Structure 1
Amino acid sequence: MSGQWTRFRPCTSSECSKLQQVLGIGIQYQPLSVATQKENGTTYCFYCNGTVTAPESPAKPYKIYAHQPEGSQKFDPKQIQIEELPLQP
């Protein structure tokens, strides 16, 4: 089905590797799970823990959206969105 998100599942090593190639420096992200959506290629929604690369920084939850155009083996670095999620008490 086009346009609907799949359920979250564990990330494959290939998906994690492709994500690390397009992320900048400053925060280290650990992908925990991923959901996908097929439409003009594939959009991935990674649920991650992120830690600022500074001493004693706490991990925070993030969603990272990355788009892989149809026929490409890589994410489009211009189509990456990072959303910091609120911490739950």
Structure 2
Amino acid sequence: MTQIVGGWTEFDYEITAEAKTVLKEAIGNLVGVQYTPTAFATQVVAGTNYAFLCTGTTTYITPHTQFPALVYVHKPLSGDAHLTEIRHIKP
């Protein structure tokens, strides 16, 4: 994966251990929806921005519904990763 400062990489469909850790750190306490990543891209800034292509699954209503979503996370140079945006993808 080529990293360009300030630019986004292409989506990578092999989720690395580091990317999984960043996503878990950012949304670990989120309730009501579970996000399962299928791909991710990164952007180098003062830290790293992550864009995760995910399948969201509701966990609080039955039947559980699924939907595609982009989950954006920022991992600063020091400190914990945090959620910046969740964007539902609609046709």
| Partner SS for 2:49 | strand
1:17 has 2:21 as partner: yes
Runs of 5+ unmatched residues, structure 2 = none
Q: Who is 1:67 aligned against? A: 74
Instruction: For residue 13 of structure 1, report the CA deviation from its aligned partner.
Output: 2.9
Runs of 5+ unmatched residues, structure 1 = none
Instruction: For residue 73 of structure 1, report the CA deviation from its aligned partner.
Output: 6.2
Q: Who is 1:38 aligned against? A: 44
Task: Give percent identity, aligned residues only.
Answer: 32
Among 49, 55, 68, the alignment partner of 1:49 is 55
How many residue pairs end up in the alignment? Answer: 84
Aligned structure 1 segments of 4 or more residues deviating by more than 2 angstroms: none
| Partner SS for 1:11 | coil
Task: Provide TM-score, normalisation by structure 1.
Answer: 0.82
1:6 has 2:9 as partner: yes
What is the RMSD of the two structures over their aligned residues, measured on CA atoms? 1.6
Amino acid at match of 2:53: Y
